[in-house]
Amino acid sequence: MINGSPKVSVIIPCYKVEKYLPKCIASLVGQTLDSYELIFINDGSPDHCIDILKEWQSRYPDRIVIIDKKNEGVWRGRWDGIAKARGEYIGFLDSDDYAEPNFLQDLYDAAKGADADIAVCGFSRTDLATGKVLSREMCDERSPFKISQDPGRLLELNGAPWNKIFRASVLKSLEDLPTKPPVLDDLLFHWLAYLEMNGEVVFVPESLVNYMVRSDSIIQTVKPQQIEPTYEAFKEVKERYTAHHAPKGKQEALDAAAFLHLGISFNYRLAASPDCDLRATIQKCTEFLNENFPTWHDSPYINGQYARLHGKTFKRLLTVSRFYKLGLLPAFLSVYSAVISHFGIDIKW
pLDDT higher than threshold 60 for residue 313: yes
Q: N- to C-terminal Cα distance for the chain? A: 42
pTM: 0.93
Residues 172-182: tens digit of each pLDDT: 999 999 999 99
Mean pLDDT for all residues in the chain? 93
Q: What is the pLDDT of residue 63?
A: 97
Q: Which of 140-149, 159-168, 283-292, 326-335 has the lowest mean pLDDT?
A: 326-335
- Asked if 168 and 83 touch (Cβ cutoff 8 Å), the reply is no
Instruction: Round to whole Å and give the CA distance between 257 and 340.
Output: 22
Q: Percent of the chain, pLDDT > 70? A: 94
Instruction: Round to whole Å and give the CA distance between 215 and 345.
Output: 10
Q: What is the pLDDT of residue 344?
A: 57
pLDDT higher than threshold 50 for residue 34: yes
Q: Which of 107-111, 135-139, 235-239, 335-339 has the lowest mean pLDDT?
A: 335-339
Q: What is the pLDDT of residue 219?
A: 46
pLDDT higher than threshold 50 for residue 349: no
Residues 69-123: tens digit of each pLDDT: 999 999 999 999 999 999 999 999 999 999 999 999 999 999 999 999 999 999 9
Residue 41: band (very low, low, confident or very high) from pLDDT cuts 50, 70, 90: very high
